[in-house]
Structure 1
Amino acid sequence: MKNPKISALLITYNEEKNIEEALKSVDFADEIIVLDSYSTDKTIEIIKTKFPAVKLYQNKFEDFTKQRNLCLSYANFEWILFLDADERVTPALKAEILQEIENPKAKDAYYFKRKFFFMGEPVHYSGTQNDKNIRLFKKSVGSYDENKRVHEGLQNLNNPGTLKNYLLHFSFDSYQAYYHKVIHYAQLKAKDLREKNVPYLFVKQISKSIFNFFKMYILKLGILDGKKGIILSYLSALSSFKTYEYLKEEYI
């Protein structure tokens, strides 16, 4: 493919703290598209005043998969770079992206390894040492699995590659922000489980919550992250507990 072009995509809701740096980090893309879920903060104002070339759309949020697939439908170019507003493409990663898509033997999709930050500080363990997500792929081969409302993933991809340089992930600047995300995700995951007719079992709710804490804190070495490791392990356990709590409500 000669002169391959990139569409950089973001879905947003109340990202006034992140949107400017996120958009700057993908300014090398041939087009930037933002699909916003009717933000009530200054997200839209920042985009319109500081990034007039960005193509801005709005759609009421139902779940992450529907938002991503809708945003994907607006893209005009073959290569898709999908970024979360709390992620940043570094100069080294940018160079690797541009080099890779010009490779005649380029794969159809690529994982990005992510360097995780919590409350402004890097997290080295707690499962983040193996964290990676597909962020670069060809539009012709990728779409998001509509059977998952959260932790959405691309389907029909064959043997994705992995880029060497890290994507920076400034996940949350406060405990409260992370807590609210955990609750939101738990509600969506509960709906997925209900649609699959997964029964609510109290024993499973407790056992999965305990195991998730143990897995993140011990097996994934959260203990080496100090206080951050304890917090992240607790929130992982809370995510499981709340998911089954909401699942129980789905059956009422």
Structure 2
Amino acid sequence: MKREPLSVVVITYNNGGTLEACLTGVDWADEILVLDSGSTDDTVDIARRHGARVAVHPFDDFGPQKQRAYDMASHDWVLNLDADELLSPGTREVIEQALVAPRYAGFRLPRRERLFWTVQHRRGRRNGLLRLFDRRRGRMNDVEVHAAVEVDGPVKTLWRADFINDGDRDITTRMDKINRYTSSMVAHKLRRKQRYTGLRMVFYPPVYFLRQYLVKRYFLDGWAGFIASATGAFYAFLKYAKLHEAREQAARKDPH
């Protein structure tokens, strides 16, 4: 039986270092759509070399930009990848089988993380993320941080498939990302009036470390897994530390 046609959608900005691997793994798709935000490196050239349809739109936020790209896709079924992500061997066949008369609104794909000089062990616990979906039944939600697709209908996890987040190739890159992400989350958390910031600063980081190292089985990845768990715990600490700092600064400006 013939499968549903598929559009692979990627949003980009100066991703020349990772886009080649990303698009090489999906050159079998019926369409590759790259929505760029004005890259100044070779991102657009790489996309066009892989036969991608390239569009350009200024970046406003991840949610709106991804939805814009989905709306531009030629086909109803969309596979969403970030520019630093790539499909693992064998995932193509699982996806193509899932798209033969699909009975679901979408499919989750398990994600394996790059842990600096290695990749998360296959026996580690992987998070299933909704990346393959019928765009007629799905849209990006309006969550300010970590916006994601939500679909109207049943969703299935394709455990025999997975993809690799290939972004954190060294500790410096990881720490730079942590600093950016935690800063971008402050305004969102202030609007939510999140409580017990001090307690979260003290108790959540060690819980986060144990969850990563033991529950997600990062211990299988040696020192890379330990360092990834430790930097993750620092991320958990820093987002609440920055929130506490913002509240202290606001209180000093307006003592009443």
TM value normalised by structure 1? 0.86
SS in 2 for 1:146: coil
Which digits, 9 at most, give the CA deviation of each residue in 1:49-70, with x for residues without a partner? x23x312223333432222112
**SS in structure 1 at match of 2:161:** strand
Q: Residues 33 and 69 of structure 2 are in contact (CA less than 8 Å); yes or no, is this contact kept in structure 1?
A: yes
1:110 aligns with 2:107: yes
SS in 2 for 1:40: coil
Counterparts of 1:45-124 in structure 2, within 5 Å, are 45-48=45-48, 50-51=49-50, 53-90=51-88, 92-103=90-101, 105-124=102-121
Q: How big is each residue's C-alpha offset from its partner over 1:118-141, in whole Å with a ceiling of 9 and x where there is no partner?
A: 23412228x952222111100011
SS at match of 1:171: coil
Q: Cα RMSD (Å) of the superposition?
A: 2.5
1:131-142 to 2 correspondence within 5 Å?
A: 131-142=127-138
CA change 1:224–1:209 in 2 (3 A) is same
Distance 2:197 2:120 in 1: 33
Q: Which segment drifts farther, 185-194 or 232-241?
A: 185-194
Residue identity opposite 1:36 in structure 2: D
1:202 is matched with which residue: 198, 203, 210?
198
Deviations 1:60-104 (A, max 9, x none): 33432222112112112110010122222245211221222122x
Q: In terms of mean alpha carbon deviation, does 16-25 or 182-191 score higher?
A: 182-191
Q: What does 1:2-13 correspond to in 2, within 5 Å?
A: 4-13=4-13
Residue among 140, 145, 150 paired with 1:155: 150
- Give the TM-score, by structure 2 length: 0.85
Residues 211 and 15 from structure 1, CA distance in 2 versus in 1: closer, same or farther, beyond 3 angstroms? same
Cα distance change, pair 223–27 in 1 and its aligned pair in 2 (3 A): closer
- Residue type of the partner of 1:243? K
Distance in 2, Cα, partners of 1:226 & 1:90:
22
Quick one: distance in 1 between partners of 2:149 and 2:137?
9
| Partner SS state of residue 136, structure 2 | coil
SS at match of 1:165: coil
Question: Is the 2:125–2:217 contact (alpha carbons within 8 Å) kept by the matching residues of 1?
Answer: no
Larger radius of gyration: 2
1:167-182 matched pairs, under 5 angstroms: 167-182=163-178
On the 8 A contact 2:35/2:56 being kept in 1, the answer is: yes
How many angstroms apart in 2 are the aligned matches of 1:109 and 1:149?
Answer: 22
**What residue is the counterpart of 1:20 in the other structure?**
20
Q: Which letter does structure 2 place at the counterpart of 1:92?
A: G
Is residue 120–residue 170 contact of structure 1 (8 Å, CA) maintained in 2? no
Deviations 1:103-162, CA, capped at 9 Å, x for gaps = 2x431100112333323412228x952222111100011111112422x32224433112
Moved more, 213-222 or 10-19: 213-222
Residues 39, 120 of structure 1: alpha-carbon distance in 2 compared, 3 angstrom cutoff: farther
Letter in 2 for 1:106: R
Deviations 1:166-198 (A, max 9, x none): 223323211111212222222233232222222
Query: Cα offset for 1:5?
Result: 1.4
TM-aligned CA distance change 1:242 to 1:128, over 3 Å:
farther
1:111 alignment partner, SS class: strand
| Aligned 8 A contact 1:115 1:169 in 2 | yes
The CA distance in 2 between the partners of 1:194 and 1:57, in whole Å, is 35
Percentage identity across aligned positions?
Answer: 26
Aligned to 1:147, the other structure's residue is in SS state coil
